[in-house]
Amino acid sequence: MSRRLTLLALAVAAVGLSGCITVFPKETPSQLYRFDMTPTAPAASDGPPLTFFRIPTGFPRAAATDRILTVSPGGEAAYIAGARWISPATVLFDEQVTKAFLTVDRIRPISRGEVARADYAIRLDVVNFETRYDQGARSAPTVVVAVRCLISRSSDRKLLEDRLFTANVRASENRVGAIVPAYNKALSEVMTQVLALASSMGPPDQAQPSPSTVGRNG
């Protein structure tokens, strides 16, 4: 009994000395990363302000977590060991999209529950969000980001735009510190096109479906 009490006292004393001390085995922590979109805002427009209700984003299940997805030429998928996004990729993506919308004076995102009526509804479906080792496992990979953008009129739910925007950015080296900036650049390129499309919409009562089709970049 006395031995058990002694061990317990030592454990409590150790924890009191430092919050980093633990009596349990330690694991090597993963390095955490975040991505950051810096899209180019479209040129200022004289058109009327437009409001957009954002429908929840679609995201590939394998890439939606906090792990960084890689794909080999043979189609084999894996995650980068010892590296994670600081939050699930789908959460970071939504936060960055909201920030990007707020950089454009003519368009404003409307959240669920707001009193204001949205002119349009916009949905972004992430089709690809991955690191492709297209030149072998030891070569610098290509980050591929593809986002399908759908815009519909709120009054009658008529689909007006359906575009697929894709960016392929090769990392400067085969290391995570070089891969993350490639994600930033790819996301920024795609979001630049999304913002340009959204800001090009006219008044909802005059908007007509675009002849563009999925698979054509804006």
* Encoded tokens for 69: 């997805």
Interval 172-198 mean pLDDT: 97
Q: What is the pLDDT of residues 33-76, one digit of tens each?
A: 999 999 998 887 777 889 999 999 999 999 999 999 999 988 89
Asked if pLDDT for residue 13 goes beyond 60, the answer is no
* pLDDT tens-digit series, residues 147-157: 999 999 999 99
Q: What is the pTM of this model?
A: 0.81
Domains present along the chain, CATH in parentheses? 28-199 (3.40.50.10610)
| Cα end-to-end span (Å), the chain | 74
Q: Is 75 left (phi over 0), alpha (psi -120 to 50) or beta?
A: left
Half-sphere exposure of 193 (CA within 13 A, CB side): 22
**Sequential DSSP letters for 1-12:** -HHHHHHHHHHH
Task: Name the band, by pLDDT with cuts 50, 70 and 90, for residue 114.
Answer: low
Q: What are the backbone angles phi and psi of residue 68, rounded to the nearest 5°?
A: -95, 115
Q: How many residues does the chain have?
A: 218
Q: What is the pLDDT of residue 142?
A: 98
Q: Cα(175)–Cα(83) distance, rounded to whole angstroms?
A: 10
Structure tokens belonging to residue 72 = 């080999």
